[in-house]
Amino acid sequence: MKALLAKIPTLLAWIRRYPGLIAAFGFCSGLASFLLVDRQAHLAKVLGLVLLLSWIWLILENLLRERIARRFGFELPLPLLRYATQVIHQESLFFVLPFFFITTTWNSGQLLFSGLLGGAALVSITDPLYYRWLAPRRWLLLIFHSLTLFAVMLTALPIIFHLSTPQSYGISLALATLLSLPSLAGVIGFSGWRRVLTFTLLPLLLAGGGWMARVWVPPATLWLTDVAISDRFDGQLRTPGEQLESVTLAQLQDDGLYAYTAINAPRGLNERIYHVWRHNGREVDRIALDIHGGRKQGYRAWTHKLRFPGDAAGKWQVQVVTEAGQMIGVLRFDVLDAPAK
């Protein structure tokens, strides 16, 4: 044990000399996990467990260090613990980023959440920001840790336990809210009954706000691999006809339109999604579809809309959303009064 402890200063010096290697390792392992997601489900499980244990360590750090020093006769170096926490954050954030970046609908409110995760990943690999701004503020570090855990749980639960998107979101939100409670003590500055009331209501507001904001959070493990709007569909081959960006009113009257989507989902996952047809921003139809995960090219699902309003000309969207309201993607097309010249 003494020989191992004697190597710690050398390890710290090496990490300080090559800080980029930690970030590169986190990014490469995260990207590999995304590309081999069916084979790397155990990594999601390990990261979730490590984040939970490290959260407990952050809360009880001083007490645990004293107990270890009393029991084993040595004190864990604080810089080493900080580096370990930083590595956990880097590995976790770079594990989830490929999932969220590919599932984000960038011209929607989902940009805010994925941008927040990207900013958190940047902080985790920028030592001046991490050690001079984040780490000294324990309450802020705990919030950062809760955000990281929330993102990992959103990604891990469907892969490991085959939970649906609404189930995964609810569990992840409840867990993140619960684990953020100790950090709230650093935010609430006043005392007395107002502190007790605020400490009681603030978690409820956080959980309620998080649930209302779910439409801005991408479904981490669901993404579109192929889409099409067409006036024809081959039912035997399950393939759409020519992709259309605009149609005429006459084409709609012939045989309506097909909205085709192939959705990648983890093996074993059963999920209900919706094709929401919108005309000039107004919802006119919502059609439920049940999908099943595991197909490499994505589970093929389509809807056939026959009835269109008399004033169907304008801009149309088919939003692909989960049962919780999270957007998977959008198909767009225009309906013209007459053929374009």
Q: Are 95 and 44 in contact (CB under 8 A)?
A: yes
Token output for 15: 């990490």
User: Cβ of 270: how many Cβ atoms within 10 Å?
Assistant: 12
Beta strand pairing call for 327-336 and 314-322:
antiparallel
In the structure, what pLDDT confidence band is assigned to residue 172 with cuts at 50, 70 and 90? very high
Q: Which amino acid is at 124?
A: S
> For residues 45 and 56, what is the distance between their CA atoms, to the nearest angstrom?
17
How does pLDDT run across 70-128, given as a tens digit for each residue?
777 766 677 767 777 787 788 788 888 888 988 999 989 999 999 999 999 999 888 88
pLDDT at 213: 93
Contacts of 110 by beta carbon, 8 Å cutoff, 6+ apart:
104, 216, 217, 218, 327
Higher-pLDDT residue of 187, 319: 319
Higher-pLDDT residue of 110, 12: 110
Beta bridge partner(s), residue 330: 319
Q: Are 248 and 211 in contact (CB under 8 A)?
A: no
Region(s) of the chain under CATH 2.60.40.1930: 223-336
pLDDT at 39: 46
Model-level pTM? Answer: 0.83
In the structure, what pLDDT confidence band is assigned to residue 243 with cuts at 50, 70 and 90? very high
pLDDT at 162: 84
pLDDT at 244: 93
Beta strand pairing call for 270-279 and 257-264:
unpaired
DSSP codes, 197-252: HHHHHHHHHHHHHHHHGGGGS--TT-EEEEEEEES-EETTTTEE-S--SEEEHHHH
User: Cβ of 32: how many Cβ atoms within 10 Å?
Assistant: 15
pLDDT at 301: 92
Averaged confidence pLDDT in the chain:
82
Q: What is the CATH number of domain 223-336?
A: 2.60.40.1930
How large is the average pLDDT for residues 310-336? 93
DSSP codes, 167-189: HHHHHHHHHHHHHTHHHHHHH--
> For residues 330 and 340, what is the distance between their CA atoms, to the nearest angstrom?
24
